[in-house]
Amino acid sequence: MPVAVWVIIGVVVVLAIILWSLYNGLVRLRNQVKNAWAQIDVQLKRRHDLIPNLVETVKGYMKFERETLEAVTKARNIAVQASSAGAGERAKTEGELSSALSRLLAVVERYPDLKANQNFLALQEELTSTENKISFSRQFYNDSVLKYNNQTQMVPSNIVAGMFGFKAGEFFEVTLAAEREAPKVSFTQ
Amino acid sequence: MGALLILIGYFLGLAFDSAMAGLVIAILLWVILSLVAYFQGDSILLSMSKARKIRPDDHPRLFNVVEEMKIASGLEKMPDIYIIDDPALNAFATGRDPNKASVAITSGLLQKLNRDELQGVMAHEISHVKNRDVLLMAMCGVLLGTIVILAYYGSRFLFLGGAGSRRSSSSKGGGQGQIIVLVVALVFIILAPIFAQLIYFAISRKREYLADASGALYTRYPEGLASALEKLAASTDQLRSANQATAPMYIINPFRKKGLKASDLTSTHPPISERIRILRAMAGASFNNYDQAYRQVHGGQGVISAASLTAETVPIATIKLEGEAGELNEVQRARETSDVMWRLSNYKTITCDCGAKLRVPPNFQEPQIKCPHCGRTHRV
């Protein structure tokens, strides 16, 4: 009889250890997703802060581009208002902002004086880098969400996920208007 | 390599009639060297290469590029950034764990690369940090160093001590066996460092391929690193401050010579041309794509362990054009880099209205300085 008791205790202990490690694994992944989201947030805020500066610097040089500038400012204000919304809504407003910005930066090519302005060059580097950081943090966030979602859906960790209410994460998909409209460059030799 | 170390200690001890003593010496030496390498390795390396730490506003672009790669790789802490004032083209990463890492780049490379190429190089370096290659190579290097030191002194002691012990043992009549042991020990002591070195080089090359693969994955743009490597390959300036011990940390072998086909077994890095061809043969940016490209270019088995291969597809970012808006050209980059180097040496820069730049040394005492070009006076 004691043998049976020991076997039961052993099985319970082993199960507890498995449960424990699965649970911890899920928590680690969920935290990674949260961190990655915070990273995106930091970079989006940074971009919101840079834009008024950029508009101010550019304004004096660009007499004929009021529409483009206004579009950027408007898109920025909408994006700032949507700051506390979910991933889907934010992706949309930030996408609009990105395309307005890229239109502005394309127009800059017509103003050689502006391109020689040190202040503008520094701002442009900051902006380019912030755009890159946004896309890299989005890339890392989506990778993390994929890993986390796989873990919550696959046997056996899906059982633990169901027991403790680990919900699947939302991807940050940006189908940018600008990306759709981007001119196709073909390299024909 | 660890086994080689223990064996060499064992044989060394055997030659002196006490295998245990040899083992103890070997392990003691190894422990001491490891501790030094673990705690002081990065600062020794950085000070040996005369690297200088920069702040974000010293070189915003470099700083931004490193931060982008930090974000892409998911590193938690921003690595310190150093510049080495050297026209040779190279870069390295150091630091025992991902939270205490540094990357360094020569001023020559910094002015040679455009933004995408710089990103590729930094992605490669950050990969070394993220994959913990720095610690791995430091520990392998210490093992190798211990074996080399032991073998060097062992062979010397053996020639002197061996002669002595043979005389004394032949009087006891058991000379034959001892001589065989001595010969085996001698052969082993000569061969051990060579084997250790070959293993070390093999590990180093494998980690280089892995860092290239991770770099491509982080940037989603293998062409950036490929074109940077192309520029690196074209130059044969040797880095003045590099040495054999620090070689595997660099992005390319600092001791390569022109025309030498470095695909042999005695190199810390794979041949650059092969690395470029692999990167350019990638159909996507994932580890799978790198592995396929490697097999296609190199033949044989892949370099990436099966555990890291995942089925997901990772598309490459669209081809970027040289000279995009806001991109500095090489002359502008050279000016920018030299400005940084002057500033790091505490020189003040005054731009005169005539366009000349005056560099004021830190020990300059006068309150005013005259422009040698147009004669205007400036306050210092």
- Interatomic CA distance for residues B64 and B70, integer angstroms: 10
Per-residue pLDDT tens for B68-80?
999 999 888 899 9
Question: For B349-372, what is the mean pLDDT?
Answer: 81
Question: For A14-34, what is the mean pLDDT?
Answer: 91
Give contacts of A122 with chain B, Cβ < 8 Å: 60
Among residues B281, B311, B310, the alpha carbon closest in space to that of B294 is found at: B281
| CB contact at 8 A, B124 and B215 | yes
Structure confidence at residue B127 (pLDDT): 92
Q: Is B61 close to A125, i.e. CB distance below 8 A? A: yes
Q: Is B60 close to A136, i.e. CB distance below 8 A? A: no
Question: For A80-94, what is the mean pLDDT?
Answer: 81
Contacting B residues, span 59-78, partner chain A, CB-CB under 8 Å: 60-61, 64-65, 67-69, 71-74
- Interatomic CA distance for residues A54 and A122, integer angstroms: 10
What DSSP element (H or E) covers A102?
helix A87-108
pLDDT band at B161 (very low <50, low <70, confident <90, very high): low
pLDDT band at B199 (very low <50, low <70, confident <90, very high): confident
Per-residue pLDDT tens for B84-120?
888 888 888 888 888 888 999 998 899 888 888 999 9
CATH of domain A2-179: 1.20.1440.20
Q: Is B68 close to A36, i.e. CB distance below 8 A? A: no
- Interatomic CA distance for residues B340 and B332, integer angstroms: 12
Q: How far is A130 from chain B (nearest CA, A)?
A: 8
What share of chain A has pLDDT > 70, as a percent?
A: 91
Per-residue pLDDT tens for B36-53?
878 887 888 788 878 889
| CB contact at 8 A, B351 and B330 | no
The answer to whether B218 contacts chain A (CB < 8 Å) is yes
Q: Is B68 close to A132, i.e. CB distance below 8 A? A: yes
Q: How far is A6 from chain B (nearest CA, A)?
A: 37
Among residues B269, B257, B262, the alpha carbon closest in space to that of B92 is found at: B269
| CB contact at 8 A, B285 and B318 | no
Give contacts of A136 with chain B, Cβ < 8 Å: 68-69, 71-72, 218
Verify whether residue B125 is a known catalytic residue.
yes
Structure confidence at residue B312 (pLDDT): 65
What share of chain B has pLDDT > 90, as a percent?
A: 12
Question: For B303-328, what is the mean pLDDT?
Answer: 64
Q: How far is B242 from chain A (nearest CA, A)?
A: 32
Q: Is A133 close to B325, i.e. CB distance below 8 A? A: no
Q: Is A136 close to B218, i.e. CB distance below 8 A? A: yes
Among residues B288, B294, B293, the alpha carbon closest in space to that of B313 is found at: B288
Residue A177 has pLDDT above 70, yes or no: no
Domain extents in chain B: 1-318+326-336, 346-379
Candidate from A33-37, A182-186, B278-282 with smallest mean pLDDT: A182-186
The answer to whether B336 contacts chain A (CB < 8 Å) is no
Among residues B303, B260, B262, B296, the alpha carbon closest in space to that of B278 is found at: B296
Q: How far is B46 from chain A (nearest CA, A)?
A: 27
The answer to whether B57 contacts chain A (CB < 8 Å) is no
Question: For A53-60, what is the mean pLDDT?
Answer: 84
Give contacts of B326 with chain A, Cβ < 8 Å: 115, 121, 124-125, 128
First to last CA, chain A: 84
Indicate the Cα dihedral angle B291, B292, B293, B294, nearest 10°: 50
Whether the complex's predicted ipTM is more than 0.85 is answered with no
Within a 10 A sphere around the Cβ of B190, how many other Cβ atoms? Answer: 12
Q: Is A129 close to B67, i.e. CB distance below 8 A? A: yes
